[in-house]
Amino acid sequence: MKVQDISREKSSELFEKAKNYFPGGVNSPVRAFKSVYGSPLFIERGDGSHLWDADGNEFIDFCCSWGPLILGHNNSEVREAVQAQLGKGLSFGAPTRLENELAELILTNNTYIEKIRFVSSGTEAVMSAIRLARGYTRRDKIVKFEGCYHGHSDSLLVKAGSGLVTFGETSSAGVPKSFADETIVIALNDKVALEKVFVDFKDQIAAVIIEGIPANNGLLIQDKSYIQFLRDITKENGSLLIFDEVITGFRLGFEGAAKHYDIQPDILTYGKIIGGGMPVGAYGASAEIMSNISPDGNVYQAGTLSGNPVAMAAGIAALRILSQPGFYERLEQTTQSFVAEIQAFIIEHKLDVQISTVGSIFWFAFEAKEKIQRADQIDPNSMLYYKKMHRELLNRGIYFGPSGYEVGFISAAHSTEDLATAITSIKESLLIAFEA
């Protein structure tokens, strides 16, 4: 049954005030709650698997800052590492021992890269990887897939056109058409389209980029045979394969989707999870490819805050925990049990919804008639079900991302009690979402 709406009085006041300062009252669009009911919640603090908003409402959090908080909020070891570094300084714009330590921790536990470069965000990592691919191959065009998001850099903020193989169309004002014309956008899981790309643009394709497992527009899990096809066709044509592992890297496992598929990409990108949730990203590749980055090579990339000591300290503390034997196996087992109980309820009540899951990631797809592997298989009208479910979950103290296209995450901080409470709330909310 429905429950009383939570109070949003203080959050609403803060949101009205924020509109005077920021476009739409937010500093990132999805935070505006445009796809769900009510005004956005302003968060005051987080601890473990829980969040508290400005009105004092408490939630079990399955957004986890969009994924990187795999250890939950305010992890004591990460917090203590940050506090220790704060006493030494916030930023130097110079090399530190901490950069070496985090790089060594990553490279000795990740066999898919030989050298790495730290940056300040996932967007910056992908932008730099694209530049590296173009510089290394001496080609200009990039192939991306509809439904994959790679940050807001100009060359990747594009959507598909109307044909089988099309140049990208800008999906944001301010992106010049000439930039979009260097990006070719095709549907996922379509071998014919990619084969046509390499015929139509022979010797022009610098790289094909794909999310390790597409998880920014639903959870579009690809078959290994298709990922192997991407690997084979790029090699045959002298192009690079880029795995954008900003979400999947260090979330599916220490070696991410590359290990999941057992396929070696040419360049990989990572996001804030390597900094314990702090603003950091990285890209890596073989020593040969990375030798093209300045100052060794002629592909320029720089950043005053790259390798920021506070972020490095947080990352070292976090990844030491993630590298412990059994960490990912336990988290995946917890997630599979969580999903299985909800799936059994869905089947019992004959609800028209699927749950996709991989590792510790899950996603609800409403009115799904088949396995969803492409963006065009998602019915936009089905988002009304998520909108209803989201409101009911908030009212029951469960926090999901404010869009039905976003995935959910389980962290090591989620307790058995947390998950049991969430399962009950999800069952109740699903029934209400499907009420006539």
Give the active site residues.
149, 244, 272
- Say if residue 292 is in the same domain as residue 374: no
Task: Measure the CA–CA gap between 151 and 163, rounded to whole angstroms.
Answer: 24
Give a yes or no: residue 3 inside a domain. Answer: no
- Say if residue 342 is in the same domain as residue 376: yes
Per-residue CA distances from 35 to 166, 333, 383 (Å): 29, 31, 8
Torsion angle, CA of 198/203/207/209, rounded to 10 degrees? Answer: -20
Scan for tokens 């869009």, then name that residue. 403
pLDDT for residue 160: 47
Transcribe 171-204 into DSSP letters: SSTT--HHHHTTEEEE-TT-HHHHHHHHHHTTTT
- Say if residue 293 is in the same domain as residue 193: yes
User: What residue numbers bound the domain in which 380 lies?
Assistant: 9-74+326-434
DSSP 3-state of 397: coil
Task: Measure the CA–CA gap between 245 and 337, rounded to whole angstroms.
Answer: 25
Q: Which of 302, 323, 344 is the last residue of a domain?
A: 323
pLDDT for residue 170: 61
Query: Is 384 within 8 Å of 45 (Cβ atoms)?
Result: no
What the block records as the tokens of 177 is 């058409």
Q: Which of 299, 323, 347 is the last residue of a domain?
A: 323
Angle 383-395/416-433 helices, nearest 10 degrees? 130
pLDDT for residue 162: 38
Transcribe 268-288 into DSSP letters: EEE-GGGGTTSS-EEEEE-HH
pLDDT digits (tens, 9 = 90+) for 30-43: 999 999 999 999 99
What the block records as the tokens of 265 is 């990409």
CATH of the domain at 194: 3.40.640.10
pLDDT for residue 56: 97
Longest Cα–Cα distance of the chain, Å, equals: 63
Give a yes or no: residue 43 inside a domain. Answer: yes
pLDDT for residue 317: 98
pLDDT for residue 4: 92
The DSSP 8-state label assigned to residue 434 in this structure reads T
The DSSP 8-state label assigned to residue 407 in this structure reads -
- Say if residue 68 is in the same domain as residue 87: no
At residue 207, φ and ψ (nearest 5 deg) are -160, 155
Task: Measure the CA–CA gap between 64 and 352, rounded to whole angstroms.
Answer: 27
Print burial letters for 112-129: b (CB count within 10 Å at least 16), e (below 16).
bbebbbbbbbbbbbbbbb
Q: Which of 323, 352, 373 is the last residue of a domain?
A: 323
- Say if residue 206 is in the same domain as residue 129: yes
Give a yes or no: residue 1 inside a domain. Answer: no
- Say if residue 172 is in the same domain as residue 103: yes
Print burial letters for 398-413: b (CB count within 10 Å at least 16), e (below 16).
bbbbbbbbbbbbbbbb
Query: Is 206 within 8 Å of 199 (Cβ atoms)?
Result: no
Total of domains in the chain = 2
User: pLDDT tens string for the chain (436 positions)?
Assistant: 789 999 999 999 999 999 999 999 999 989 999 999 999 999 999 999 999 999 999 999 999 999 999 999 999 999 999 999 999 999 999 999 999 999 999 999 999 999 999 999 999 999 999 999 999 999 999 999 998 988 877 667 676 443 444 445 566 677 777 777 789 999 999 999 999 999 999 999 999 999 999 999 999 999 999 999 999 999 999 999 999 999 999 999 999 999 999 999 999 999 999 999 999 999 999 999 999 999 999 999 999 999 999 999 999 999 999 999 999 999 999 999 999 999 999 999 999 999 999 999 999 999 877 889 999 899 999 999 999 999 999 999 999 999 999 999 999 999 999 999 999 999 999 999 998 6
At residue 88, φ and ψ (nearest 5 deg) are -105, -20
- Say if residue 179 is in the same domain as residue 308: yes
- Say if residue 107 is in the same domain as residue 233: yes
pLDDT for residue 159: 65
- Say if residue 56 is in the same domain as residue 145: no
Class of residue 324 by CB neighbours under 10 A (exposed 0-12, middle 13-18, buried 19+): exposed
CATH of the domain at 360: 3.90.1150.10
